[in-house]
Amino acid sequence: MYLQEYQVKRMLSNYGFLVPKNFFCRTIEEIRDAFCFFEGQKFVLKCQIQFGGRGKSGAVKVVSNIQESELFFRRWMNRKLATDKTGIDGQKVVGILVEEYIDVQQEMYVSVSIDKNKNRIILIFSFYGGIEVEKNHEKNRNYFQKLEIDLIKRLKLDTIRRYVDKLCNIQKISLSFSKFLFDLLEIFFSLDLLFIEINPIAIDRYGKLICLDGKSKIDENALFREKEIKKEILSVENDSLEDIIDKLSISSNYVSLNGNIGCISNGAGLAMGLMDLIKIYGGHPANFLDIGGNTSLSKVEKYFCKILNQDRVIVVLVNVFGGIIRCDVVAQILLRSMKKIGGKPIPKIFVRFSGNRYQYGINMLKESCFKSNISIMYNLEEMVEKSVLLTKGRNVHFN
């Protein structure tokens, strides 16, 4: 889950990092309230999307009066913003960050990411940052330090300090920047981040390090850890608070893919096996969904509706072995989901039940008003083969 800039700053601030005073605004009234706080000073307006390149697109502006602020808000709020990072489709601006203007003496750079091939955390930092950081990196890699960090051994402050001193031997900056990097790594590990970049880190006229911009991504699969802290960080975004809480407590595994065959299973092995079989027969899965065992029915129903509602999905395969979650319960969820999507065309649905109360589940489906949309299957390979033929526009015979 990618974070917005205001969420990254909230996270950093909570952990003791300095960030400019700021207000996240979604209405013109909130913009006016923020202006009252900064009245008589310069301040910065920044469109909130999850990608960079905003400054070059005019989506970051330094202003000093309410008229410019309101014009900026009306120009960008809820509009699509395309930058060199978003691609031509752009991304909707979900809010405007109104932020204190900082008199910058020097800009620096840091990022922490995961190298999956090496099973290492990669820390990159430099005493050169800002909007041209990529060009600086290409022109002079000596300005940048790259460290590979063992997941178990991690790095001690003294070790970081040695590497920082190689780039900058100014005692005061070197010490404070080393501590900055050490603390940032602690956040990375404790909040299950997949990536964080702070660019630029400003040194102000008092020598303080201030995070002026930031990007980050949290591992969605680890949202159940440090739940309250993460809920506070994420608490206002595109989703309603209820949706965020839902994400924080969800136990199902859902991954969206590019194909046209919806996949619903319980158990990661069963789901992976189903996807493999689809690929063997030349088809393309539209998703991976493992509904798990001890799962909230309302959450599973949301995923069922999501799959049934996708226009590209031609056929849905339900392959469930009844255990902790019973087959008749899955049948009940499936029927409720089909009712919920309203008048939309329902894709063809193949259901293969076995295990706990499978016959009850099959009977419920056969006796329902959706029985013409559902085919009960007993052979997995036959189910997959017919589904792939359907997606290719071939005629399929049903018994």
Q: Given the structure tokens 């990254």, which residue do they identify?
A: 8
Measured from the Cβ of residue 322, the count of other Cβ atoms closer than 10 Å reads 19
Angstrom distance (rounded) from CA 279 to CA 283: 5
Tokens of 154: 């991690």
Q: Which residues contact 202 (CB under 8 A, 6 or more apart)?
A: 102, 104, 105, 106, 107, 108, 209, 210, 211, 212
The Cα-based distances of 64 to 41, 150, 176, 263, 334 in angstroms read 6, 47, 32, 54, 56
Pairing state between β 348-355 and 315-322: parallel
Are the CB atoms for 24 and 95 separated by under 8 Å? yes
Could you tell me if 329 and 297 are in contact, meaning their C-beta atoms sit under 8 angstroms apart? yes
d(CA 260, CA 258): 7
262, β-bridge pairs: 316
Instruction: Give catalytic residue positions.
Output: 109, 197
- Residues written for the chain: 399
CA 301 vs CA 246, 256, 332: distances in Å: 13, 16, 10
The type of residue at 342 is G
Closest by Cα among 295, 220, 224, 298 to 265 = 295
Q: Dihedral (C-alpha) 153, 155, 156, 160: value to the nearest 10 degrees?
A: 160
Tell me if residue 308 falls in helix, strand or coil.
Answer: helix
3-state class of 355 per DSSP?
A: strand
Q: Alpha-carbon distance 381 to 281, whole Å?
A: 9
